[in-house]
Chain A
């Protein structure tokens, strides 16, 4: 049983020995790294116990607190699973109702009655299955057999938020139902964080699961290769999960695990590996297919089997693909892109191995630059100015405006805040850019915009001889309706946040900037604005 779960042998043994007799009524399994895998292990251990061992029968229901987001769904899911009831469309999706067509999902009491009924129902099911038509003596004899009901609740940290009233009764379910019942919470949050106040719940029996080390991780990941390759048929011989590729796969995994070493969740690593592996073996499969194509003239059916690649080829593949492991991690771990489309984008070129070694580039090409947020890519020029002005207005203190943007006689006067840490006061003020944007009134935004335009936009305007006084043209520009319109538009698409109520009439409307420093500096670069000179507290 333990061998089915590489890396989790100890945990599986502990769970199975706990449930071999009378398990504690309440267990709490903490796995800070990969609670999903742990829950899978718990469930498969319990279901294998339900299948195999005759002396202690364990009937379990596994539910996810995310899916069961209210009490009724939870009750129904548990009872349906325990009774082995399939909810079907044809029967109007009715829930299991027992013999008396009762509803168990009314409230907690109903659920407890339902659990008791399902407990006796399971007993009768079994005896009906094993001893058909025999005397009642035997039946009642078998009913005394150990029947443990186990409820496994995944993502249990959701319970206090979603069903605060239900948390305590769930943890006390064994004493409320007076059955041989255990409840298992699986979560990445320790019990101390969700424990209800005043000791309302009994303390659980704790089981801690630690992160896998590298060997266990490799064993666990490698075992899926075997599972996949035994499922597929290998009809054409050129499958990326062909058994003979297994040594290569383990080497691939070892490199992958090293380069993604801060991800310890086997699920995540599996996701990345599954996205990368087909592209990784494609050159080998291509080469193999080429060979087959050449041979096919001579003898068709006698296809040469796929041979494990030589050490040289392995090293070459790993050298080519190693940079892409990191990009895979950076893109796929936060799910910035779908795995399939990522694999399609980062696939190797055709017949990579046929090319000479010095012509192959590592994947991806190092020259690639990351793409910016799509929202600012094709904004009009004035909108970009407005956004930069808004960032400045949100980040600089308003008292600094005259110093930063004023055009007095003495140009040298502009100076920024000094950066010396003051020795007296212990705390330095954190820069506004990390504390988040301040609100600013519309007038201030317009004024800063005027200053920006006057400094950076004058040269690119069409000649306008009707404006005689310096700055008159800019004043004209910033007074246009279009500017106000653009501001509203930008706040509609979320690059600004309007902080004052829309229906408010008195006073100027106030806003907050909604773009990051990175985005602003990209915009400033496009507009040729020296952003760092204009910031009160530059990075």
Chain B
């Protein structure tokens, strides 16, 4: 029997049992009453209790570290306690932006830098706090808090409707089907997991994904496997909770056993209707989650969808049979049009929509929420918490920060991009620059958001760059399609021309590079050159025709970054 939902006070035991379930691939057996369980219950649950042990040494440190020097601490407190408005915080953050080292030499400049530079004997404590804060931020990023408080927001509505629907299935034994539509990163999976975990009675959850179950037979096998794992547990679990995961599919009087033990061959597809039609007869209600629903619609004859939706539709609430819910998650808006007529007629047509935060202010709030995530186990670090929050506040007051956030928001509303930006900011934090700065965010935006296509050209070896310039000249001369020999000849001519000023590096002439064939292959391997025709055995390697992916501008920028005079001259020279 599944364990009854534990009381919210017994936090540790609940967490342990949950992670135990998760180890044994049973995700939904125990509901979690917390609001913040998101995306994957299993992912979220170990994060919470673990810091208890993870940083137990940290826990004891701060008071010990603080006692010898109460004066600077109180000073910092008093300064921090002053209203953290733009003026004081700007003053604090601005010196930290360009010269993080300078602050160590002139500690009075940065108020917020106090913990590290001033209290050199106490270095450990802020360091530990910073590390703990970093860890907490990284955790929060993978699991962003819900900041939109608006009751009318799309996600709230979707959450309510979905939980009503699931309740109907679980409590009243209805057969339901619905589609959860929304852009990437808008929280479809999170809402679903939340709803499932809030159910009063844990249902059997079958999770399929269009990415891994690429055919109906694979999907069927996976259904059989998951069913045997979960129903197996429900019989065994009461006796032995811990070993349930491992012994789940031992000797079970279970109709699906034969399909799982035959590991070498897939079951014939004729078994599919029989397998699906047993779903309502199980001891618990079933929730079938189809991630990437649109991919299932591309399977031949859509038989899996047909069987599932048919079962869900024909499911009659009653004592003998339990409910079945089929939930599809997809980003395709027109998924319903992909369904065949017979499948579509069995689908309820219910579509719930999720949305990303719709205003850039939400992003700012989200950023604050993520950055200010509390270090749960450190109750004594009130000072750190205050300082940190003031630092984050000044970070968010900075105009440059807001500009980057707004720009990013206007390009993409995907919260995961914001998560990447903040991850980058969090990894750049160090004891010498303990608080986030807008400069860090700007550099994070440069690498994480809409990256330039060829950002690393200048790092290419010298001969490769020569070949790139030669290909720019070739395309100017009207040969956008070139062979290696053409470029090689151009490079050779150029080197001969500039023989009076040969390639010089650090005062020593290295002469003509002798191995441009390798350089050329480097470029081909880096996909900067793409072949225009399939390779043939009769054509010499040096005569295979290629086309350049890089444009003149890219090469120009690379040469400028490199700052090599010879190359610049050659690039700007008229094509012969």
Residues of A within 8 A of B (CB): 13-14, 17-18, 20-25, 30, 32-33, 55-56, 99-100, 102-103, 106-110, 112-113, 116, 119-120, 123, 136, 139-141, 143-147, 157, 165, 168-169, 172, 175-176, 178-180, 188-190, 192-193, 199-200, 202-203, 205-206, 208, 210-211, 258-264, 326, 329-330, 333-334, 426-428, 430, 433-437, 497-499, 512, 514, 516, 539
Are A144 and B50 within 8 A (Cβ)? yes
Minimal Cβ-Cβ distance residue in A for B54: A55
Are A22 and B139 within 8 A (Cβ)? yes
Q: With an 8 A cutoff between CB atoms, is B106 at the interface?
A: no
CA A132 to CA B47, docked complex, whole Å: 25
Are A30 and B456 within 8 A (Cβ)? yes
**With A24-B142, A100-B246, A264-B461 as given contacts, are A112 and B542 in contact (CB-CB < 8 Å)?**
no
Q: With an 8 A cutoff between CB atoms, is B510 at the interface?
A: yes
Q: With an 8 A cutoff between CB atoms, is B317 at the interface?
A: no
Are B515 and A100 within 8 A (Cβ)? no
**With A143-B16, A199-B184, A426-B478 as given contacts, are A168 and B218 in contact (CB-CB < 8 Å)?**
no
Instruction: Using C-beta atoms within 8 Å of the partner chain, give the interface range for chain B.
Output: 35 or more
Minimal Cβ-Cβ distance residue in A for B537: A497
B112 to chain A, nearest CB (A): 21
Are B478 and A189 within 8 A (Cβ)? no
A-B contacts, 8 of them at CB < 8 A, read: A20-B135, A100-B246, A100-B250, A175-B39, A176-B209, A205-B424, A210-B456, A264-B461
Known: A32-B459, A157-B527, A190-B454. 20 other contacts (CB 8 A): A14-B427, A17-B427, A18-B138, A18-B423, A18-B427, A20-B138, A22-B143, A24-B141, A103-B264, A140-B242, A145-B50, A172-B211, A175-B40, A190-B456, A202-B184, A211-B459, A260-B510, A329-B514, A334-B518, A498-B538
**With A18-B427, A203-B417, A333-B515 as given contacts, are A262 and B17 in contact (CB-CB < 8 Å)?**
no
Are A334 and B17 within 8 A (Cβ)? no
Which of B245, B515, B518 contacts A120, CB < 8 Å? B245
Q: Please give, as numbers and ranges, the residues of chain B lying within 8 Å of A100 by CB-CB distance.
A: 246, 249-250
**With A140-B242, A434-B485 as given contacts, are A210 and B459 in contact (CB-CB < 8 Å)?**
yes
Are A200 and B456 within 8 A (Cβ)? no
**With A24-B423, A512-B538 as given contacts, are A109 and B543 in contact (CB-CB < 8 Å)?**
no
Are A261 and B40 within 8 A (Cβ)? no
Are B50 and A23 within 8 A (Cβ)? no
Are A178 and B27 within 8 A (Cβ)? yes
| Interface mask (B529-541 → A, CB under 8 Å = 1, otherwise 0) | 0000000011110
Are A123 and B134 within 8 A (Cβ)? no
CA A102 to CA B265, docked complex, whole Å: 14
- Interface centre among A175, A202, A334, A434, by most B CB within 10 Å? A434
Q: Please give, as numbers and ranges, the residues of chain B lying within 8 Å of A107 by CB-CB distance.
A: 218
Which of A32, A119, A147, A430 contacts B486, CB < 8 Å? A430
Q: With an 8 A cutoff between CB atoms, is B53 at the interface?
A: yes
| Interface mask (B211-230 → A, CB under 8 Å = 1, otherwise 0) | 11110001001100100000
CA A334 to CA B518, docked complex, whole Å: 7
CA A203 to CA B430, docked complex, whole Å: 26
In chain B between 1 and 45, which residues have their CB closer than 8 angstroms to a CB of chain A?
12, 15-17, 19-20, 22-25, 27, 39-40, 42-43, 45
Q: With an 8 A cutoff between CB atoms, is B546 at the interface?
A: no
Minimal Cβ-Cβ distance residue in B for A191: B451
CA A430 to CA B46, docked complex, whole Å: 66
Are B24 and A120 within 8 A (Cβ)? yes
Q: Please give, as numbers and ranges, the residues of chain B lying within 8 Å of A141 by CB-CB distance.
A: 12, 16
Are B462 and A261 within 8 A (Cβ)? yes
CA A326 to CA B505, docked complex, whole Å: 13
CA A354 to CA B526, docked complex, whole Å: 50
Q: Please give, as numbers and ranges, the residues of chain A lying within 8 Å of B49 by CB-CB distance.
A: 144
CA A436 to CA B479, docked complex, whole Å: 14
Are B543 and A206 within 8 A (Cβ)? no
Q: With an 8 A cutoff between CB atoms, is B386 at the interface?
A: no
Are B486 and A261 within 8 A (Cβ)? no
Q: With an 8 A cutoff between CB atoms, is B525 at the interface?
A: yes
Q: Please give, as numbers and ranges, the residues of chain A lying within 8 Å of B417 by CB-CB distance.
A: 203
Are B263 and A262 within 8 A (Cβ)? no
Which of B424, B451, B486, B537 contacts A190, CB < 8 Å? B451
Are B540 and A146 within 8 A (Cβ)? no
CA A190 to CA B453, docked complex, whole Å: 8
Minimal Cβ-Cβ distance residue in B for A102: B263
CA A102 to CA B228, docked complex, whole Å: 15
Q: Please give, as numbers and ranges, the residues of chain B lying within 8 Å of A147 by CB-CB distance.
A: 46
Are B23 and A123 within 8 A (Cβ)? yes
Which of B20, B24, B213, B448 contacts A205, CB < 8 Å? B448
